[in-house]
Amino acid sequence: MSNTLDPLSAIRCSKDDEYKHKSDPENLEENMKSGVLRKAKNVSSKFRSSLRNKIKRKNDTGICNIEDMHEIQDHKAVDAFRQALVMDSLLPTRFDDYHVMLRFLKARKFNINKAKIMWANMLEWRKNFGADTIMEVTNVDRFVKYQVQEFEKSLAIRFPACSVAANKHIDTSTTILDVQGLNLMSLTGPVVEFIKVVQKVDNDNYPETLSRMFIINAGPGFRMIWNVVKPILDPETTSKIQVLGSNYQRKLLEVIDGSELPEFFGGCCTCAIEGGCLRSDKGPWKDQNLLKMTPTAEVHHVQTASISDNDGT
């Protein structure tokens, strides 16, 4: 008789041995530890899931649903910090945000008292600086004042300096207006009102100061705007305006030297020292020696100080 077990018997023996091994008293302690670890793992998993779901439900009321996972210690610290802020009436609704509070805690090494002082100083600074309203659209009056300020700078400083540099009288300017992305939806009531007011101010008080204007990157959307705006403008003004599409570079270089035209408009000027052409006020009026040669140098000095005082308007 063969001692070889059939496959089914072998499987049964293997199962019996496994059962005996697991039931062995010597392994009881190890089995108990494993059971505790499994239970702890399950509890931890359920807690993380609960916390994740709680945050997820809170965000369901917003525009997008962001699944956010908070570290337990961070969550406790933020909760304590939040309560401290509420007690001292230092928690405006717009700043009742977990991550904002966490940033301040991290900045002060999770010292709640120091973080609260930092937080209170932040709120005071925002109030004094006007940070809460800095992103609001300004009003027409401030836009018009800025426009007038630029005209005054040109009349008192820029035109005289350019006249000396070119050795001929200069009292007009060339303007480039990039309208990429504008469409009919951009033509809101305040925009139309601004155009009307500035048009009247320019025509009544600063006549014949525009030599030419190039409106570039004008797509189909802007051309619809132009059809609405053009009748509002003075016919003499519109005759000086050229509306161009995306292939405008050649036209600009016909009237503006490439060294004076910003690189992003097809020229070679970068104003690298000034941080780029958009930040630069490049021109002969920056030459103090040249300014002294202008016919009304003393007036220029007084006007410059006056304009500087109004920069905040």
Write down the domain spans for the chain.
70-133, 140-309
Residue 302 phi/psi, 5-degree rounding, is: -65, -45
Please indicate whether residue 104 or residue 191 has the higher confidence score (pLDDT): 104
Shortest CA distance to 157 belongs to which of 279, 10, 298, 3? 298
56 alpha carbon, distance to own chain's centre: 27
> Looking at the predicted structure, is the pLDDT value of residue 87 above 50?
yes
- Is it true that 70-133 and 140-309 share their CATH fold? no
Residue 313: pLDDT over 50: no
The residues facing 108 across adjacent strands are: none
Partner residues linked to 215 by β-bridges: 177, 243
Q: How far is CA 140 from CA 172, 196, 311, in A?
A: 25, 10, 16
**CB burial of residue 217 (10 Å; 0-12, 13-18, 19+):** middle
Spell out the CATH class of 140-309.
alpha beta
pLDDT band at 143 (very low <50, low <70, confident <90, very high): confident
Q: How much is the pLDDT for 175?
A: 93
CATH topology of domain 70-133: Helicase, Ruva Protein; domain 3 (1.10.8)
* Contacts by 13-20, CB closer than 8 A, 24 or more apart: none
pLDDT in tens, 272-298: 888 889 888 889 998 888 888 876 544
Question: How many Å apart are CA 188 and CA 159, to the nearest integer?
Answer: 34
pTM of the model: 0.53
Cα-based angle 220, 222, 228 (whole degrees, multiple of 5): 115
